[in-house]
Amino acid sequence: MAKEVRLIVLISGNGSNLQALLSACDTGQISANILGVLSNRSEAYGLRRAEKYNIPTIVFHRLTNRADYDEDLGNLVATFKPDWIILAGWMHILSMKFLEKFPNKVVNLHPALPGQFPGTKAIERAYTAYQQGQIEQTGIMVHLVPDEGVDDGPVLATQTVPILPDDSVASLAERMHQTEHALLVETVRKLVVGEIDVKALSN
């Protein structure tokens, strides 16, 4: 029998990308089990989404300094023996205290193309840049997180997203979210079946 692939998902909010992963694992589109969903915010709606699938949820508030928090978080996540740790709207920059425990296993989703708009409000900043004639399109990326670089690291997948002349921030955001749900699911599917050679990417 094939080895069970173990996923842990870290979230901070709505969890629509988590929902895409939950559905894909449930239907078998992704051949993996989500063993736990962890949030740094108790009000994160994604926790409710996980509960509907009877997946254990953990709220892990930051009560200590960053280094201690990341070390404790890493120890907690390690108890699940994850193959992959998916950051799906996780709003805390992980330090090496966490990352050194999971080389080539931490995957982040960011609503911008590589090198563009790192950090928060990437969709709004892309919209403004479009209005100012600086860009014609934006996009989504999924990447490995080897170090503390923000929304930076070996790229696993990208998808461009058009910005239309009559877009509002809301209509662009809707198109971005639809695109990221599909790209995240497809990228995790490929990782799980070994279609992406992560070690080659990170060398």
Binding site for ligand GRF (CB under 6 A): 11, 13-18, 46, 88-89, 109-111, 180
- Cβ atoms within 10 Å, residue 82: 20
| CA–CA dist 186, 103 (Å, integer) | 21
Closest approach of Cβ 20 to ligand GRF, in Å?
Answer: 8
What minimum distance in Å lies between the beta carbon of 145 and ligand GRF?
12
| Nearer Cβ to ligand GRF (71/127) | 127
Q: What is the C-alpha to C-alpha distance for residues 40 and 13, in angstroms, rounded to an integer? A: 9
Long-range interactions of 119-124: CB distance < 8 A, separation 24+: 119/150, 119/151, 120/91, 122/151, 123/169, 123/172, 123/173, 123/176, 124/169
Which CB atom, from 14 or from 158, has the smaller least distance to ligand GRF?
14
Beta-ladder partners of 123:
none
- Which residue's CB atom is positioned nearest to ligand GRF? 89
Q: Which of the residues are catalytic?
A: 110
13 and 43 in contact (C-beta within 8 Å)? no
Of 34 and 109, the one with the shorter C-beta distance to ligand GRF is: 109
Nearest Cα to Cα of residue 80 among 48, 58, 63: 58
Query: By C-beta, is 18 or 32 nearer to ligand GRF?
Result: 18
Which residues make Cβ contacts (< 8 Å) with residue 20, sequence separation at least 6?
Answer: 181, 182, 184, 185
State in angstroms the smallest separation of the CB of 65 from ligand GRF: 24
CB of 146 to ligand GRF, least distance (A): 18
Quick check: 25 and 33 in contact, CB under 8 A? yes
Question: What minimum distance in Å lies between the beta carbon of 3 and ligand GRF?
Answer: 27
- C-beta of 47 vs 71, nearer to ligand GRF: 47
Quote the tokens at residue 167: 């877009």
